[in-house]
Structure 1
């Protein structure tokens, strides 16, 4: 019975994710091109087999999108790591599902949205993230922008560690 509920939740998540993507795509001039004929490598992967131990655990090559599954400790604040980006905020849009925990998304107007376990979310460009409770998220983001963000964050963390 629980398996049926999980399948229903996953189906609902995918439907909401796609509707959010389509609506936001038309509302803002964000150009995200899904290259469905350009999928490389695996087209599915078990959560248990997903990469671990990186700043952002992600897989590229899914039709122009990156998928990530991450666990963050409560108290994590991404704001200092984002300093140096435009407006000192993440400019990559993310569509996700919070599997466990609680997060706060803060946008460029300092508007805060709280997301709790079991909810789907959209983070438009121009945001930061604070993890209020140990969290696990599954996210989809444009591949090119996500690669650039990951490189920036790796360099920023290396710089911060040198300064200690």
Structure 2
């Protein structure tokens, strides 16, 4: 059976206000251990995806802090102790002091990361 942890994750991504540790499992899902050290609305980085929103579903658990997902139907905030699912059609709002683990279908996640990375590079 595959397994991972924050310490053993295959990839690490560090940006101002964000740190993520990711492992692509052989199940078709990627596990991400994420820490937010700044508040940020990331909506602008999803431009170019359908409806300018993330099209990848995510399942997660918030250990500390909170995260909000903005959708066409309204915003939903998940706080420490909450397990969540967010479907396609959202953008995240991050809050300092948050730690969570998130599970995402790898193929959809990679398509999203490609667009987000391009937009972040253009914004720099």
The question of a shared fold, defined as TM-score above 0.5 by the shorter chain, is answered with yes
Corresponding position: 1:95 with 2:59: yes
Corresponding position: 1:65 with 2:29: yes
* 2:92 matched residue in structure 1: 129
Corresponding position: 1:118 with 2:81: yes
Q: For this pair of structures, how many residues does the alignment match?
A: 119
Q: CA deviation at 1:95?
A: 0.4
Corresponding position: 1:48 with 2:48: no
Q: Which has the higher strand share?
A: 2
> For the aligned residues, what is the CA RMSD?
1.8
Q: CA deviation at 1:73?
A: 2.6
> Which contiguous aligned blocks of 4+ residues in structure 1 show a shift greater than 4 angstroms?
none
Determine if contact 1:103/1:133 at 8 Å carries over to the other structure. Answer: no
SS of alignment partner, residue 13 of structure 2: coil
In structure 2, stretches of 5+ residues that fail to align are none
Corresponding position: 1:77 with 2:55: no
* 1:108 aligned to which of 53, 72, 90: 72
Q: Which has the higher helix share?
A: 1
Between the aligned partners of 1:107 and 1:147, the Cα distance in structure 2 is 20
Say which one has the larger Rg. 1
> Higher relative CO (CA 8 A, sep ≥ 6), structure 1 or 2?
2
TM-score by length of 1: 0.66
Between the aligned partners of 1:153 and 1:88, the Cα distance in structure 2 is 10
Determine if contact 1:95/1:139 at 8 Å carries over to the other structure. Answer: yes
Q: CA deviation at 1:84?
A: 1.6
* 1:17 matched residue in structure 2: none
